[in-house]
Amino acid sequence: MATEEKTFSDFKLNKQLLNAIADMGFTKPSPIQEKAIPRILAGQDLFGIAQTGTGKTAAFVLPILMKIKYAQGNDPRALILAPTRELVIQIDREIKELAKYTDLRHVCVYGGIGPKTQIEEIQKGVDILVGTPGRVMDIYLKGELVFKQLKVMVLDEADRMMDMGFMPQIRKFLEVIPRKRQNLLFSATLPDKVVTLSEEFLEFPERIEVTPQATPAKLVEQKLYYIPNFLTKINLLGELLADEETFSRVIIFTKSKEHANNIFKFLSRKGKGETRVLHANKGQNSRINAIDSFKDGEVRTLVATDVASRGIDVSSVSHVINFDVPVIYEDYVHRIGRTGRANNTGTALTFCNPAEKYHIGKIQKIIRMQIPVEDLPANLEILPTTKEERQKINKEIDHQKRRENPGFKGAFHEKKERKKDSPYLKALNKKKKSGNRKNKRRR
Ligand code: ADP
Ligand code: MG
């Protein structure tokens, strides 16, 4: 088929870029590159939607490098925004590789460290600026950035960039950058509500979908384990990681920094190989070191929150384990997409407790498929659910039922009301309360 025969030299890219592409070992463009590169070169605004790990970065970096060609003036002509520090660093490294035969200047800025060195870099002159929105805006507000020459703006992980947390910052940018510019948005997921938001600033964008949004990477095998409680999840994790050969490079995602820290401690104590933890409360150096050592293969297991779910490209990750089911459903697609990248295969395992089943239902809806259920290993010790966890799970389930059906009062609710008027329940309640106090003291 003609389309499969496309090569990088079919695009109007110059020799410097073609040589860099060859050095990187890319033999043919990926489907999103094939579709996006000619359109970006032609000056169109676009939404590029393609599965995780399919080369979206080069799909926007290559045509930008081609369009701005060589170093010129002092001010950035392209601005690339991404949601996390690790991701902007990674994008900048890819620019460095692809631009190595050009004289283009690129600078990468992010928070967590002082802006001084970053500002000094910018003062030397910059053609492409990559950064997290907060830090780019800080430097702009210090008067150290001029956007008058800006021709292209990219939002990588566009849906994340336009969610509630970032949208106010994006709106500020739109006020200070030239109206006439090219806008490029890329992601593997693009919920409808985000499309509506983007209409605020995109002019007749073309939507290029290699696959419908939220399609999981096809090289990732997915498995779902139903597990009654936290301790049994920990047990299963220990069992699985005992197989060092199969589980060679693993990312474990948790819903909170506390869970991440606890699992990290557990794995370190059990001697499950080099482990690092990555979340928003970790210092900048520790975050970057964690990712780099994981990339180098010195670290076997990375325990992370969703700060690491978007965009991070580590080759040959054997497994992604969702220790907790993500409650922002798009994150499921991104988390499991840390494996099965650039034509490699991988496995994604999800641990689901009774309260998380609801979220699995929602995730299956957005990915438009059922995640195959795996039996628990026969020798796995199933530990009892603690009273505290049982209550938490029941409460969450009630909350979910009420969300689906606002008229639903719920077992939890009913009990409370009955308690009020039954002397027996009143007495029981008293006892429970003093029991709780004891528990609290113990902690
Ligand atoms: P995405 O943003 O779609 O998740 P990335 O841009 O991070 O994917 O690319 C994933 C990996 O694929 C990277 O390691 C990148 O270097 C590699 N890659 C990109 N384009 C190609 C290509 N045409 N051929 C082979 N590998 C590629
Ligand atoms: Mg990406």
Place of tokens 């995780």: 52
DSSP 391-436: HHHHHHHHHHHHHH-TT---HHHHHHHHHHH-HHHHHHHHHHHHHH
Q: How confident is the model at residue 107 (pLDDT cuts 50, 70, 90)?
A: very high
pLDDT for 324 beyond 90: yes
Index of the ligand 1 atom closest to the CA of residue 342: 12
Q: What pLDDT is stored for residue 439 in this prediction? A: 39
Q: How confident is the model at residue 437 (pLDDT cuts 50, 70, 90)?
A: very low
Tell me the C-alpha distance between 223 and 225, whole Å. Answer: 7
pLDDT for 225 beyond 80: yes
Task: Return the DSSP state at 343.
Answer: T
Q: By C-alpha distance, which of 217, 161, 213, 167 is closest to 191? A: 213
For residue 42, how many other CB atoms are within 10 A of its CB? 10
Index of the ligand 1 atom closest to the CA of residue 32: 3
Average pLDDT rounded to a whole number, residues 194-215: 88
Q: Which two tokens stand for residue 250?
A: 């693993």
The SS3 call for residue 130 is strand
pLDDT for 317 beyond 60: yes
Average pLDDT rounded to a whole number, residues 284-310: 95
Tell me the C-alpha distance between 111 and 107, whole Å. Answer: 14
Residue from 313, 320, 334 to probe ligand 1 pocket by mutation (most atoms less than 8 Å from CB): 313
Dihedral sign computed on CA atoms, order 210, 212, 214, 219: negative
Q: pLDDT per residue over 23-42, tens digit each?
A: 999 999 999 999 999 999 99
User: Same topology for domains 8-209 and 220-384, yes or no?
Assistant: yes
pLDDT for 423 beyond 70: no
Residue whose CA is closest, atom 16 of ligand 1? 55
Task: Return the DSSP state at 308.
Answer: G
Ligand nearest to the CA of 340: 1
| Distance from Cα 414 to the centre of ligand 2, integer Å | 48
Average pLDDT rounded to a whole number, residues 304-320: 96
Question: Do residues 368 and 333 make contact, with C-beta atoms less than 8 angstroms apart?
Answer: no
Per CATH, the number for 220-384 is: 3.40.50.300
| Distance from Cα 135 to the centre of ligand 2, integer Å | 20
pLDDT for 327 beyond 90: yes
Q: What pLDDT is stored for residue 420 in this prediction? A: 47
Q: What is the pTM of this model?
A: 0.91
Index of the ligand 1 atom closest to the CA of residue 337: 4
Mean pLDDT (the chain) is 91
| Distance from Cα 384 to the centre of ligand 1, integer Å | 44
| Distance from Cα 18 to the centre of ligand 1, integer Å | 16
Average pLDDT rounded to a whole number, residues 317-327: 98
CA angle at 274 for the pair 250 and 244, rounded to the nearest 5°: 55
Q: By C-alpha distance, which of 341, 363, 369, 368 is closest to 350? A: 363
Index of the ligand 1 atom closest to the CA of residue 33: 23
Amino acid letter, 379: N
Question: Do residues 320 and 253 make contact, with C-beta atoms less than 8 angstroms apart?
Answer: yes
Least reliable range by pLDDT among 99-103, 163-167, 277-281, 426-430 = 426-430
CATH superfamily of 8-209: P-loop containing nucleotide triphosphate hydrolases (3.40.50.300)
Q: What pLDDT is stored for residue 412 in this prediction? A: 58
Pairing type for strands 275-278 and 346-352 reads unpaired
Q: pLDDT per residue over 345-373, tens digit each?
A: 999 999 999 999 999 999 999 999 999 99
- Residues having CB closer than 6 A to ligand 1 are 26, 29-30, 33, 50, 52-58, 313, 341-342
Q: What pLDDT is stored for residue 411 in this prediction? A: 64
Q: What pLDDT is stored for residue 130 in this prediction? A: 98
Ligand nearest to the CA of 55: 1
Boundaries of every domain in the chain: 8-209, 220-384
pLDDT for 13 beyond 50: yes
Q: By C-alpha distance, which of 75, 224, 82, 83 is closest to 150? A: 75
Tell me the C-alpha distance between 317 and 208, whole Å. Answer: 28
